[in-house]
Chains A and B, each alone.
Chain A
Amino acid sequence: MSKDDSLGESLRKQGISRRAFMKFCAATASVLALPPGMATVMAAALSRARRPSVIYLSYQECTGCGESLTRSFSPTLESLIFNAMSLDYYETLQAAAGTAAEAARKTAMKENWGKYLLVVDGAVPVGNDGVYCTIAGESAVDILTEAAKGAAAVVSVGTCAAFGGIPHANPNPTGAVAVSQIVRDKPVVNVSGCPPVPEVITGVLAHYLTFGSIPELDHLGRPKVFFGETIHDRCYRRPFYDQGKFAKTFDDEGARNGWCLYELGCKGPVTYNACATVKWNQGTSYPIESGHGCLGCSEPDFWDKGSFYQALSTGTWSGATVLGVAAVAGAAIGVGAAVVSRRRQAHLDNEKQPKEKQP
């Protein structure tokens, strides 16, 4: 199968039936919330499309995003790799190692300059000239800068690449930043989540492959189809929130009855992600269905917003100092004001006294 084959040709050569292909398109269209008719359009576009080169770079990350990606079910990563794209570099999945791997990346970049899709997971450390993350002697920030120059678009997979994630959390010793802080002159799609829902990753890739463009984004650079609604908007426990029925601990009666997890720290009301609709593990469930509140993992700085187990409405406090100082200062000024008034009262009394004595 040559890279220059159109997708249609390569599928025919592989003996993949048109029926199977249409199924793939329908699944992708439904994940992307496209109208049903779009599956045909997508099929037409995809069969004409040339399989684009995809270069996948990993920096300060835990490979959780890659683990998530490989568990995608519609479209599966396999179907994407084998049918729709040419994954030319991905440390987690590639067989090549060392010099051979780096050479593969350089070749793919040269051959597809200006056209390849760059996928990145992990944050990029820029502290101390980027020494905290190097591959084959080159710093992450240098590799990314170079690779982004020849990319058609960049997809930041996971909260670390999208917003800095854990590496960026206080006190951020490595100076970790989001990919969009470094790549400023190319379209960057932020597929956030820790990890992102697998179908959201493959859905964005499929969208690019089908339409040759990136989907519509929200103000944080996330595709609106997946990040347009909060978890709370679509949560099946929402009726309990509205009725004021809340679980107080993880194993009380409320928890067993499936009541709302707001009191246990659920951040669903301010978290935009597709968990409640696309769900995880082939649509089996999502964290709140397993009894745990949303951590807000698809939002920037979710590590630095106070405890995961504190209710959203409790606020974050720096400690008791500010309040303590304010109370003492208020009391001191109050006492001071009273003392001044007492003096003045006494003074006025002294002035009044002799007059009152006169008949």
Chain B
Amino acid sequence: MNLLDFARGPALEWSFAIFLFGVLWRLLGILLLRRVHDYSEPRAHRAALGALQAIVRRTWPRKEFRARTTYGLAISYVFHVGLAIVVFGFVPHILLIRSLLGVSWPGLPGAVIYFSAVVTLAALVMALIRRLTHPVLKLLSNFDDYFSWAVTIAPLVTGLLAVAHYGGRYENLLAVHILSVELLFIWFPFGKLMHAVLFVLARGQTGVVYGRRGAST
């Protein structure tokens, strides 16, 4: 078994298994918690609506904070959209998803993928620089933030190297790319990358509380 066989075989299977294990653990562990009873008189009965509003509306910055958050937010938007294009638009990726879930959609041309990958890469580097230089963010950041950043950028770097055939034989570059993706899968449930799932719950819960109090979400 060579490195590529290992990456496409046992490593892929086990990283998925760990991903599934971790996500279910954390998700059920949170969803099945007891809700703290709110004894206050509800001002409005729009908990569900509040939750939905918070999930959607917080995708956009509030006017009051715009001046301070626009730069960071713009970077985040660029790399989130870019990642989505690369991960869900590239045909080899779609084929893997189809083989696992049975769903598929048309892919994008290689040039679009490579362009998005480079833009995403640049945005991720800018996000890191911002984190390292921002006086407050710097203090708030811990190992989890930096490691999550590293495992996110790694598949982009290795994927681009594989496509460019740069730095080794293609089968090895591809193997390293797949292994870097597997590292991402393994880390995902246990670090801050889990926000990709948990943001819905966090925003929803806030929305429920605000909705009950009749506050703006």
Binding site for B on A (CB under 8 A): 230, 232-233, 241-244, 246, 262-263, 269-270, 300-301, 305-306, 310-318, 322-323, 325-327, 329-331, 333-335, 337-339, 341-342, 345-346
1/0 contact string of B84-97 vs chain A (CB within 8 Å): 00000001110110
Partner pick for B109 among A243, A317, A322, A345, CB 8 A cutoff: A243
Task: Give complex CA distance A317, B10 in Å.
Answer: 7
Q: Mark B129-142, 1 if CB is under 8 A from A, else 0.
A: 00000000000000
Contact present for A342 and B18 (CB under 8 Å): no
* B197 CB–A CB distance under 8 Å: no
- B144 touches A (CB below 8 Å): no
Binds A, one of B29-37, B57-65, B146-154, B201-209: B29-37
A327→B24 contact, CB < 8 A: yes
Q: Are B13 and A330 in contact (CB under 8 A)?
A: no
Please name the residue on chain A nearest to B37 by beta carbon.
Answer: A349
Q: Bound complex: CA of A293 vs CA of B13, how far in Å?
A: 26
Most buried by B among A262, A300, A306, A335: A335
Interface pair B95/A313, CB less than 8 Å apart:
yes
- CB of B119 within 8 Å of the partner chain: no
Complex contacts, B95 vs chain A, CB 8 Å: 263, 311, 313-314
B145 at the interface (CB under 8 A from A): no
Interface residues on B, range: 35 or more
Chain A residues with Cβ below 8 Å from B23 are: 330
Q: Mark contacts of B6-34 with chain A using CB atoms, 8 A cut-off: 1 yes-contact digit, 0 otherwise.
A: 00111011101110111111111111111
Partner of B29, one of A242, A312, A334, A346: A334
Asked if B214 CB lies within 8 Å of chain A CBs, one says: no
A314–B96 contact, CB under 8 A?
yes
Q: Which residues of A contact B16 (CB under 8 A)?
A: 323, 326
With both beta carbons as reference points, the residue of chain B lying nearest to A218 in the complex is identified as B169
Given contacts A314-B99, A326-B21, 13 further A-B pairs with CB under 8 A are A242-B111, A244-B91, A263-B95, A305-B8, A315-B96, A318-B13, A322-B14, A327-B24, A330-B20, A331-B25, A334-B28, A338-B28, A342-B33
B108 within 8 A of A: yes
Bound-state CA distance A337–B31 (Å) is 11
Q: How far is the CB of B90 from chain A (nearest CB, A)?
A: 8
Nearest-neighbour CB distance to chain A for B116, whole angstroms, equals 13
Q: A241-B110, A345-B33 are in contact. Are A330 and B24 (CB under 8 A)?
A: yes
B27 to chain A, nearest CB (A): 7
CB-based nearest A residue for B4: A270
Query: Quick one: which of B1, B22, B25 has the most chain A CB within 10 A?
Result: B25
- Cβ–Cβ < 8 Å partners of A327 in chain B: 20-21, 24
